[in-house]
Structure formats: C-alpha cells, structure tokens
Amino acid sequence: MVKGRKITERQTDRFLKKLFSRRIVLAVLLKSFVSAFKEMAVEEIACHHLMPEGDSERIQIENTDDGDYAQFDLLFSVRVPTVDGEAQIVQFNLEFQNKIHPGYHITKRGIYYGCRLLSEEKGRLFMDSHYDQLKKVFSIWLCPSAPKKLANSSVGYELIERFHFGSKMCLSRDRKVYDLLELMIIYLNDSEPPPAGTGLGLLHTLLTNSLSSKERSEILKRDYNIEIDMEELEMFDMFKYAKESGIKEGRKEGRKEGRKKGRMEGRKEGRMEGRDEERKKIISNMLKNGRTTEEICKDLGLTLMQFNEYTTEAVL
C-alpha cells in the first residue's frame, strides 16, 4: 500500500465540475429551473444557448478565480431569450454546498457571490462609467445534504421594482434595467428521491450516495438520454466517497470518547486499504482503455512513483 496519500477536496471538485460541464446536463437544469427555457427543447438549449454555441460534449468553463474574494465552482455564459424576442447573455454560477449550516446563511453568501460577479464586469465587459453595459448574473446553489423537511424544494431571490409614491412616470418600465441578479437554492436529500425525468431527479441521480456507478449510469441513459463513461463515474464516486466518508467518520469518532488508539489506527488503515484497492481497480480499467500513464497521473493526482507502486502491487 502507498502511504501518505490524501484525497483532496480539489480533486473531488474537479470531477464534479467535469460531470456538470456537460452541455446536456446543464441544458436539463436550465429547462427545469429557469423560466425562460421552460418550453424549449433540451437539445436546442444545449446547442444554441450555452456559450459558445456548438455540439461539443462540454461547455467552455470560464475562469473561476476572483482573487482573494471568492472561488467560484462553475462559471459559464448562457444566451437567455427575453419577452421582447431578443436575447441577453447571462453569466451563470453553479455552486455545490454540502453543509446546510456552515456558520452563516447560504442565502447571504449566494447574494455576495452574485454581487462579486456583477462588480467584476467593470473592467472586463466595460470601462469607466458605462454601467448600462452590465449583464445579468444568475447563481444556483445545490445542497445535496439538506434536512429531509427541505428535500426536493427550491427558493429564489431576485431584484424587483417597487413603486412607493409620486408619479408613476419615474418607473423604468424596462425590466432589463434592474433585473441584474438572481439567486436560486435547491435542496436535496437521499431519503426522498424526486420524480424521474425532472431537473431535481437528474441532480439526485448525479449527487446521491445511494446509487452505484452502474445504477447511476443506467438511470442517466434511461431517463435523461445522457451517456457518461463508466470510468468517469467510478472515479467520481471514489473521490466523493472518500471525502464524505472521511467527514462522517471524523464526526462519529469525535463523539466517542476513550476510543483505543490501536482501534482507531486499525480503522484508518482499513479505510486506506479499501481506497487503495478501489484506486488500483480504476487504474487497471484506465490502462485497458488505452489511457497513458501521464493522463492517469493527472486525473488521479498521482506522482509517477505512486503510480508505479499501484501498478506493481496490482501485478503482485
């Protein structure tokens, strides 16, 4: 067994982004949760509204680093149709939030992220005081570990115009002037599977811990006409399981006082061995599928020495 390795949150997030950067996945979500796309075919959204247009499997992910202020999970641009028949380019931010109570209100963080995206447009989309060139931003937060009472629900926030007193002539009347930020939070829970074929159903299929890679693949193909390579799903499940089981085990062991050191180390060693066996299996499958050593090391975050130790152990 190769010692001293740690599956990082960044590695897990990389595979999560890889899954959700697929055009077909984002198209189903846009159709389900954005009113402008309710009556539009998924294929049309995928090819003609996710920027840049095309039939590539994945969209072009935008830079997610906002300096010291915010690290966005997924950023992409969408051509959104408007009621006047025109279209506006909207920047979408997709965030994955495991903790429902992280020590602050998720709603406030979501609004903050939206404001950061808006303020960043100055200098990127326009200069000086040309604020009429501001484009709308839409932030969607996915919470797969919500309490059961919140399962399969979503809540949205947006800017509205409200008339108080005086002449109504002061109203802008053009919604595009102030409709610049929208936030949506979606709550899921493993114990309450949503209806198949829906946007919530797709999210549950991709994020739940109750399905194997094979079951996940079959549901995606049957209910959503989405085909994802089993190797990719297996790698994602491995990283996701390692991250979440580590968190759960840490909490469980933290509550139990007086646990013997040998027992704790034994469990830790057992978990590491289990993850190593899973990783050796994945490496073997990747090699059979013609992947190079360099590609495997990059995808799994391994050094060449670690890769050689895995493959040597597999032969022995």
For residue 109, pLDDT beyond 90? yes
Does the residue 92 lie in any domain?
A: yes
Phi-psi category of 173—alpha, beta or left, where left has phi over 0 and alpha has psi -120 to 50? left
Which of 72-86, 106-120, 164-178 has the weakest average pLDDT? 164-178
Q: Are residues 130 and 236 in the same domain?
A: no
Phi-psi category of 123—alpha, beta or left, where left has phi over 0 and alpha has psi -120 to 50? left
Q: Are residues 194 and 246 in the same domain?
A: no
Instruction: Confirm if 77 and 124 have CB atoms less than 8 A apart.
Output: no
Q: Are residues 93 and 185 in the same domain?
A: yes
* Residues of the domain holding 277: 230-252+267-315
Alpha-carbon separation of residue 282 from 12, 205, 232, 292 (angstroms)? 15, 21, 9, 13
Q: Are residues 216 and 104 in the same domain?
A: yes
For residue 114, pLDDT beyond 70? yes
Instruction: Confirm if 142 and 94 have CB atoms less than 8 A apart.
Output: yes
Average pLDDT, the chain: 81
For residue 11, pLDDT beyond 60? yes
Phi-psi category of 279—alpha, beta or left, where left has phi over 0 and alpha has psi -120 to 50? alpha
Reference 159, options 184, 131, 178; nearest CA is 178
Q: How far apart are CA 79 and CA 196, in angstroms?
A: 27
Find which of 130-134, 248-252, 289-293 is predicted with most confidence, using mean pLDDT.
130-134
Helices (H), 61-198: 106-120
Q: Are residues 247 and 206 in the same domain?
A: no
pLDDT digits (tens, 9 = 90+) for 84-100: 777 888 999 999 998 88
| Mean pLDDT within 188-203 | 92
Task: Please indicate whether residue 234 or residue 153 has the higher confidence score (pLDDT).
Answer: 153
Reference 119, options 195, 57, 66; nearest CA is 66
For residue 267, pLDDT beyond 60? no
Angle (CA) 79 72 227, round 5°: 65
pLDDT digits (tens, 9 = 90+) for 153-188: 999 999 988 877 777 666 666 888 899 999 999 999
Looking at residue 299, its pLDDT comes to 82
For residue 272, pLDDT beyond 70? no
Question: Which of the four pLDDT bands, split at 50, 70 and 90, describes residue 107?
Answer: very high
Does the residue 18 lie in any domain?
A: no
Q: Are residues 207 and 67 in the same domain?
A: yes
Q: Please give the structure tokens belonging to residue 204.
A: 């549950």
| Mean pLDDT within 15-19 | 83
Provide the whole-model pTM: 0.73
Q: Are residues 109 and 196 in the same domain?
A: yes
Question: Which of the four pLDDT bands, split at 50, 70 and 90, describes residue 135?
Answer: very high
Omega cis (within 30) before 147: no
Q: Are residues 210 and 311 in the same domain?
A: no
Q: Are residues 107 and 182 in the same domain?
A: yes
For residue 36, pLDDT beyond 80? yes
Does the residue 298 lie in any domain?
A: yes
What single-letter DSSP state applies at residue 238? H
112 SS3 class: helix
pLDDT digits (tens, 9 = 90+) for 205-227: 999 888 888 999 999 999 999 99
